[in-house]
Each structure stands twice: as structure tokens, then as C-alpha cells.
Chain A
Amino acid sequence: MTMLRVRDLGVRFGGLVALSGVSLDLNRGEILGLIGPNGAGKTTLFNCVSGLIQPSEGSIVFEGRSLRFAAPDERARRGIARTFQNLQLWESMTVQENLQVPMDAVGKRNTLSDALGLPLSHYAERAAAERARAILHVLELDGYGSRLAGDLPAGIQRRVEIGRALAMRPKLVLLDEPAAGLDAGETERLASLLRTVRDRFHVSMLLVDHDMSLVMKVCDYIYVLDFGKVLARGRPGDVRSDRKVIAAYLGEATPELVESTEEPPVVVTAEEPKRLPAPRANGHRPATNGNPLLEVSGLAAGYGHLEVIRDVTLTVGAGEVVACIGANGAGKTTTLRAISGVIRARSGRVAFDGNNIIGSSPERIARMGLAHIPEGRGLFPSMSVEDTLRLATDSTGAKVKLEAAYEVFPRLKQRRHQAVGTLSGGEQQMVAMARAVLAQPRLLMIDEMSQGLAPTIVRQLFQMIDVFKQQGTAVLLVEQFVESALAVADRAYVFEHGTIAHEASADELRRDRNLISGSYLGSTAGEASTIQVAANGNGNGHKPHPELMEIVSMRVPAEVKRALEERAEREGRPVGALALELLAEVKP
């Protein structure tokens, strides 16, 4: 029986079409997966169902009644609960209180009786506490009830969010990236947990996640979104082998896709390499005698409680083009940010041209010749093209003629007095690249250059990378269009779960597509949990200890690992060190 029926849903933000003509059916008791590349419209669809945004067209019917005029809280009371991609727990409240709010909202409570502490409230309170305990037990969160939600590590917070959603006695739970930031072992556990939850609480689920191993394992049926439209649907096995799906993920632009984008083509005359501003004259190029230009080892970094990357080790040689590929949330962007100093590395070493640059400020790193074009390009929308470029030359202190940039990007010369915000996405990316190139970097890091751009423009931008390469600028590329990236790159690193899973030459990866599609669409079997991951960091920023390696590879039951983690977290020490100590006590 259909529980949620979405028909011809369309959402427009200004000129941007986020969703168009999306139809979807979710049956009672089903776990429905919703996947698609970045910007495909998954979260937008979620927000439509939970009422945070109003669709421009189409209908959403839940249990036979339209949701059109229902406010978010009304939908919640009708039985739609959700979690959030960026954790939205009530951080200053205890875990139990977090669970009680939705319970109260569904039940009837009286404020005056609450304030006076009348028996009515007393009983309601006791019943709620009891139910909260039961839910926490199913989610393996016993003992967390009286902890403040904001103090918990991200992995636990994710589970509390699921618990909070369940507390409302929902019929449908929307899970927005529940596996974000979890390592392979935790993801594995989450998968079995979700199935348990479905059976114990009799709920249906709509699941969005970039971790394909989770989606493939848990979901009964999958919809694939791309460019705001349903690209494919089917059972997990069918979807995984669907040619269109693989193309959407790996960026083999099929004709239909090209037509579906609305960006006007931009002409870049990049066929014959133009003269780029000469590499810094006072520089020490050729950069190094055989040593790589950039050397990263054991890098760990993250945000708040979340450790996103751990033990990342990579090198970029002078004049080499290296691509970082992997599913969303695998840690590519965070790696670039940690290298360029935008976020602080928690451990590890980053050497640029032989100098350790960990702890240096981003602007100093930039001046050393390491340019970073961030995701979203980092432009100032109201500034004109020329002013933007001038800013770049000023900051290096070198007088470089803007003409050099205009020669490479003639399009920008025509547009030089236009505000950057009024340019098309492709032109904006050119401005960002021109700005970076004017600073005469020796290494250019570009994050998601092709995001939101039509394939024709993407092709032209990739030709530019080739130009940089011929000029001797090294490039480290984070890219979701894998095919295009591998076409220009010399080597590539495949990211999985916050660390590097494979390293191979671009040719090798292009030949062996299974290697990559596995990391995107999740073919590898889940590994059993070892305490290695925790020993490496666990968010405490501790370096793995060489002595720990013996224990590190030791397989332990999940409960033991959890107990260790919790104790280590309480005492603020690395798990590995704690394990060593306990072992020493046991040994005669």
C-alpha cells in the first residue's frame, strides 16, 4: 500500500530548477533509498516532504491526505519524522529530553499543570521517560540518557537523532545522510540497526546517503536522482549495474544529460596553449631535486566532534596533475582544506617544497605558491571581474599584468567590468581560476571545479588544466566527474570513508573501472570492526602510537570496542593507549 505518493514535484529557486517532475511512491514498511550525485535535489525533496520548503508544483500525499497546506509541525504530528544531514540535536538538553520533546508534541500536555507539578504531568513524565529508555535501548544508547546531547561524539549524535525521530511514534522516518562522518565499521553497524528499527517500530523509511554500501545493503528499493529528475529506479542490484547511474556518478556525459542542462555554452579558446604568467622568477623552480612538491603523511582533520579524514597520505610531484576521487563525504574537500590551512590539521605532516606548513596561516601558505580554489569558488559576487583579479595580484605583491589572464580567458576581458555575481557558473569558475593563476602558484588545488556546470563547459575547463600542466604548474584536483578528471590527471587517489583506499595511475584506473565504481556504488564487503580507527584518532587528535600497532590490528567484539571508546573519551586519552594499559594489567 502506498504511504507516500509524490507526483510531478517541481521546485525552483529563482532561475535554478532544483527538482522537476519528480514522482515517487513509498510503500508501508519499505526502506526506500534516494541517491544521486551532489546537487541532484535529494535534500530538496526531503525538505518538501517535511514541509521546510514549499514546492512550486506537484503534489505530495501522505496516507491519502494532501500535505499541501500542512506546516512542518503538523506533518510531524501526522507521522513524518526526520533527521538532519548537519546534526540538529538540541545540544544543551540531555539525550532523554531530546527524546521527550517530540513525545510531548504528539501527546497532549498542559503547561499550567506542568508548572504546578500536578499528578497528570507526573504520570505523563514518567511514561515518557520509560519510553525514552526503551528507544535508547534499541539504539544501543543505554546510559546516554542523562548526557548533554551536544557533548556526545558525532556518531552517537546521529543515533540520538534517529531515536528522537522514533520518539514521535512516526509512520515515516526521513533519514538525511545518517552515515555521514561514520567509519566503515560504524556504517556497518548502522545498516543492521536501521533494519532492526524498521522491524521493531514498524516504520517506513526514506533514506538519503552518499555511502553506497549502506544504501545498497539497507534499502528495498532505490530511486536515483540527477539534475532534479528521476534518472532510474529499481532494486539495489539493478540500480548498481544500471549504465545511466554509473554514468551519472562517474561523469560519462550521455547525450540526454547534455541536453537537460540549461547553461548557455561558453567559448573558451584553449585549444592552443596560451602564455601564462611566468612562474615566479625568484622561485626555486624546478621545485625540487626529485622530491615531491607536496608531501602529506598521516593527515587527520575534521570539524568539531567530527573527524572527517584520518591517516591521509599523498604526494604531488612538481608539474604533476593528481586527482582525488571518491564518493561525497569521503573526505576529499576536507583534505584540501587541511592542506591549505583553512582548517587545522589534528595530526600528520604536510610538507610543501620541503617545508612543513602545518600550523601556518592560509595566507602564508598561499604566498608560498600553493593556491586553493575552494568548492563554490570563493568569489565576491558584487565585485567586478577586474577588481577581483587585481585583488589577487595585489596580495602576492608582484606586478602581473591582468592581460596575461585575459589572454588565457578572453571571455573575461569582455566581461571585465561586470559584477562577478552576474556571470554564469562557468564564467565564475574561470574568474576563480584566473585569480588563482595570477598568483603564480606552483601547486593549484581545485575543489569541485565542474560542480553545477554543463558538460560542455566542464570539457573546456578541463582543457585549461591541460594548459596549466604544460606550463609546469602542478594541480591537485577534487572532482566528481571522474572520467574527465582521469583524462587530464597523471595519477589519482581514491578516497573512501575519510582515508585513501587506492592509489593508481590514471590509465590504470580508467582501465579498471570496477575499482572506482566500487568506491562509489559500494561493492566491497563491510570490514569487521577493529580498534585501529579509534586508535588513530577518535576525534581526540592523538597520533597513532607505533607501539600500538600490535593491538591496533586486533579484532575485538563490538561491545568491548564501545566500552573502550567510551572510557577513552571520558578520560580524554587515545583508545590504543588505554587498551595497552588494560592488557598490561591482565598479563601476569
Chain B
Amino acid sequence: MMPGHIVRFAVAIVAFAILARLPVGLDGAFQFDAALALIWAFGILSIVLLTGYAGQVSLCQATFAGVGAYGAGMVVASLHGGYLLGIVVGVLFAMVLGVLVGLPALRLHGITLAIVTLGIALVFDKYVFQDHLFDWFTGGTAGWQVSNASILGIKVDYSKHLLAAYDILLALFCITAVLLVNLHQSGAGRRFRAIRDSELAASTMGVNLTRYKLLAFAMSAGIAGLGGSFYPLIAGSVSPQPFWVFTSLQLAAIGVLMGVRYVPAAALGGLFMAVVPDVLTRYGHGAFMGRVYDISNDWFQIALGVLLIVQLVLLPDGVWGDLRDHVARLRSALPGGARRQVRPA
């Protein structure tokens, strides 16, 4: 292993050690939020790979997560398979869909690709997740009920062992995040970025566009599906609502807000997306200086829109990207400070 890899794995292990115990004292709802934050963090991580690295636009990442969730739910609840098998099947389903969505991307770019993927998200929302034709996959209106599940002998039942599920999810996230950072600096990562910067140059410099675009979509969908396949585990059931069109849009928006080119931004974004609305609903009402106020969940959407505009003006590289830059600049301004490292990671 190269020194850089060792450092990254060490950082991941430390991060895991700290974050694993963090939700211990919290109540059930916040523990659920913590686990949900990781699922959305996977969703944003998939956007980091697809958009941040490979430059492809997709507005159906939540659909991939949903397919992962339903795939896992189907295996566990309908076929009575183990949860590990459920995760594998969920990820595979998502990857297959990813390749299918990637096909139009071979010809389309930018806004047209965004519209096509948004259409796919709509179709899955209305006609797959909510249509009786696909009851075998979605478990009908009631969805799949998952209880008494266990992974590799560890009980991860949502009502009693939510934290165990959270820890497994966290470990997977840390590993995936490190692999993605490694990928950025590797041959395949460079090819992805070459496609992002100039497809013309990439193709004439020997990069097989078909192969690498489809690979990016498959990997990205797999990552989103991996997060999604844990949803039945932490919620006890699957329903279409968390994976509807708007979630896809939110994932994309928060990904851009936090810095779509940076892996750590995914963790920030997941946390933001899962926790802030809940905090608002819980504590966003009361009285201040004699006036009654109520900041409900709805305010989250408005705030997100405003934040996005502010970010695009003030922090064009996203919250993580620009803050990192500022810190680096401060450091290099100190006497003996090293030159700024240009490599994003």
C-alpha cells in the first residue's frame, strides 16, 4: 500500500471510532436520523462519483436507493433470504438500473441528461414503486415488513438494535468513502475526470467513453443502492415515500451545496439532509420575545433553496471545497507554510 492509502484508512478508522459511539445517548428518533443520515450520505457519495468525478448529471439517485431498498426488502420478507443476500441483491438491482440509465448518457449531456434522468425518477416513483404491477417487487401498498433481521449473526432489528445497524452502515460508509478517495487519484479516477473535463480529448487519448460512462453509472447506482438496501433494516419496512422524485432533487441540491467533488461533503450532506428537518419539526416552534413562531419541516425546503443560491455565489466549489481552500490558504500564509496542494480529495 502507498503511504497515502495508509493515511486514508487510518483517518477512516478514527472517524469510525468517534462516530460509532456518538448516537448512543440519543433517543430513538435521533438514532434513526443518524442511520438515515448515512443512507443519504451514500446517496450523495454516489453523486460525488457520478457528477463530481465523471461529470455526468443524474436526478434519479434516490431511485437507485429505492431499488436497493425494495430489492433487499423483497429478498428478506418475500423470499426469506438472509439480510446479507438482500443487500447484495439490492445493490445488483440498482447497478443494472444504473447501466440502463447510463445508456442515454452515451449520447446526452447536461440539461437533456438531467431531464431524462428526472423522467426516470418520476416513472419509478409513480409506476414502479406505487403500481400493483410490481407488487412482487414492492410488496404492495403495505410494503415489506422486516423484523428480527441479522447480518453475520449480529442482530440488527430496528426496534431494539438500531445502533448495531447504524454501526455496520457507518463502517461500510467509511470503507466506501476511502475507496472513492483512492479512486480519485488512480487510473480509473483520472479517466473519469478526463471525461468530465473534455470528452473529445478523452476519446482521442484512448479512453473508451462507452465503458467508463457506463462504469460510472453502475458504480454510482451501486453506491446509492447500498445505502438504500439498509433502509428496511432501520425503518422496519419500505415505502415509496422516502425515494420519491423530490428526494432525488434534494440529494443533488445538497450534493452541490456541500461540494460535489469531495467525498467528505457526502457525510456533511447526509447529516444535513436527515437531521435538520427533524430538528426543525421538533424545536422549531415556541415563543420568542412574546411572539409565537413555528418553523416546520416545510421551512427546510425554502432554507435549502436560499442556501443553495448563497453557496453558488459565495462558495462556488461547495461548502467543503471552499472551506478546505480557505484553511489551506491560511496555513500557507503562516511562516514556513507549505504550498497549497492542488489535488482535491
Partner-B contacts on A (CB < 8 A): 50-52, 71-73, 75-77, 81-82, 84, 88-94, 97, 100-102, 104-106, 109, 111, 114-119, 121-122, 124-125, 146-148, 164-165, 168
Given contacts A90-B198, A116-B179, A125-B2, contact A111 B188 (CB under 8 A): yes
Complex Cα gap A73–B207 (Å): 5
Q: Name the contact of A92 in the complex, choosing from B5, B197, B209 (C-beta under 8 A).
A: B197
Q: In the complex, are the beta carbons of A93 and B193 less than 8 A apart?
A: yes
Contact digits for B99-128, partner A, Cβ 8 Å, 1 yes 0 no = 000000000000000000000000000000
CB of A456, distance to nearest CB on chain B (Å): 38
Residues on B with C-beta less than 8 A from A148 are 342
Q: In the complex, are the beta carbons of B203 and A72 less than 8 A apart?
A: yes
Q: In the complex, are the beta carbons of A73 and B206 less than 8 A apart?
A: yes
User: Can you name the residue of chain A whose Cβ is closest to the Cβ of B198?
Assistant: A88
CB of A72, distance to nearest CB on chain B (Å): 4
Q: Name the contact of B207 in the complex, choosing from A101, A114, A119 (C-beta under 8 A).
A: A101
Q: Name the contact of B187 in the complex, choosing from A72, A84, A114, A146 (C-beta under 8 A).
A: A114
User: Can you name the residue of chain B whose Cβ is closest to the Cβ of A122?
Assistant: B2
Q: Name the contact of A89 in the complex, choosing from B201, B209, B342 (C-beta under 8 A).
A: B201
Complex Cα gap A121–B190 (Å): 13
Contact digits for B167-179, partner A, Cβ 8 Å, 1 yes 0 no = 0000000000001
CB of A483, distance to nearest CB on chain B (Å): 37
Could you list some 17 contacts between A and B, CB below 8 A? A52-B204, A73-B206, A76-B204, A89-B198, A89-B201, A90-B197, A92-B197, A94-B343, A101-B202, A102-B206, A114-B182, A114-B188, A115-B179, A115-B183, A116-B182, A118-B1, A168-B205
Residues on B with C-beta less than 8 A from A73 are 203-209
Given contacts A101-B202, A147-B342, contact A117 B188 (CB under 8 A): no
Complex Cα gap A125–B186 (Å): 8
CB of B160, distance to nearest CB on chain A (Å): 35
Complex Cα gap A146–B339 (Å): 11
Residues on A with C-beta less than 8 A from B309 are none
Q: In the complex, are the beta carbons of A146 and B202 less than 8 A apart?
A: no
Q: In the complex, are the beta carbons of A93 and B194 less than 8 A apart?
A: yes
Q: In the complex, are the beta carbons of A84 and B179 less than 8 A apart?
A: no
Kindly count the residue-residue contacts between A and B in the assembled complex, taking CB atoms under 8 Å apart: 118
Q: In the complex, are the beta carbons of A100 and B204 less than 8 A apart?
A: no
Complex Cα gap A258–B212 (Å): 49
Residues on A with C-beta less than 8 A from B183 are 111, 114-115
B213 at the interface (CB under 8 A from A): no
Q: Of B2, B4, B183, B201, which is in contact with the most chain A CB atoms at under 10 Å from its CB?
A: B201
Complex Cα gap A146–B185 (Å): 13
Q: In the complex, are the beta carbons of B205 and A81 less than 8 A apart?
A: yes
Q: In the complex, are the beta carbons of A104 and B179 less than 8 A apart?
A: no
Q: Name the contact of A114 in the complex, choosing from B186, B205, B343 (C-beta under 8 A).
A: B186
Q: In the complex, are the beta carbons of B206 and A105 less than 8 A apart?
A: yes
Given contacts A84-B201, A164-B205, contact A90 B187 (CB under 8 A): no
B189 at the interface (CB under 8 A from A): yes
Closest 7 CB pairs of A and B: A105-B206, A114-B186, A117-B5, A90-B197, A76-B206, A109-B187, A104-B187
Q: In the complex, are the beta carbons of B2 and A106 less than 8 A apart?
A: no
CB of A372, distance to nearest CB on chain B (Å): 31
Q: In the complex, are the beta carbons of B206 and A52 less than 8 A apart?
A: no
Complex Cα gap A124–B193 (Å): 19
Residues on B with C-beta less than 8 A from A106 are 206
Complex Cα gap A427–B89 (Å): 64
Residues on B with C-beta less than 8 A from A115 are 179-180, 182-183, 186, 188
Q: In the complex, are the beta carbons of B187 and A100 less than 8 A apart?
A: yes
Q: In the complex, are the beta carbons of B5 and A97 less than 8 A apart?
A: no
Q: In the complex, are the beta carbons of A104 and B191 less than 8 A apart?
A: yes
Complex Cα gap A75–B202 (Å): 12
Complex Cα gap A370–B193 (Å): 45
Q: In the complex, are the beta carbons of A101 and B179 less than 8 A apart?
A: no
Complex Cα gap A332–B202 (Å): 32
Q: Name the contact of B204 in the complex, choosing from A72, A92, A116, A122 (C-beta under 8 A).
A: A72
Given contacts A93-B190, A93-B193, A146-B342, contact A102 B200 (CB under 8 A): no
Q: Name the contact of A50 in the complex, choosing from B4, B204, B207 (C-beta under 8 A).
A: B204
Q: In the complex, are the beta carbons of A90 and B206 less than 8 A apart?
A: no
B245 at the interface (CB under 8 A from A): no
Q: In the complex, are the beta carbons of B5 and A101 less than 8 A apart?
A: no
Q: In the complex, are the beta carbons of B204 and A105 less than 8 A apart?
A: no
B215 at the interface (CB under 8 A from A): yes
Residues on A with C-beta less than 8 A from B197 are 89-93
Complex Cα gap A109–B206 (Å): 13
Residues on A with C-beta less than 8 A from B196 are 90, 92
Residues on B with C-beta less than 8 A from A105 are 191, 205-207
Q: In the complex, are the beta carbons of A88 and B200 less than 8 A apart?
A: yes
Residues on B with C-beta less than 8 A from A93 are 190, 193-194, 197
Residues on B with C-beta less than 8 A from A118 are 1
Q: In the complex, are the beta carbons of A101 and B200 less than 8 A apart?
A: no
Complex Cα gap A283–B197 (Å): 51
Q: Give me 15 other A-B pairs in contact (C-beta within 8 A), A72-B203, A77-B206, A109-B186 excluded.
A: A50-B204, A73-B209, A88-B200, A89-B201, A97-B190, A100-B187, A101-B194, A111-B183, A114-B182, A115-B183, A115-B188, A116-B182, A117-B4, A122-B1, A124-B187
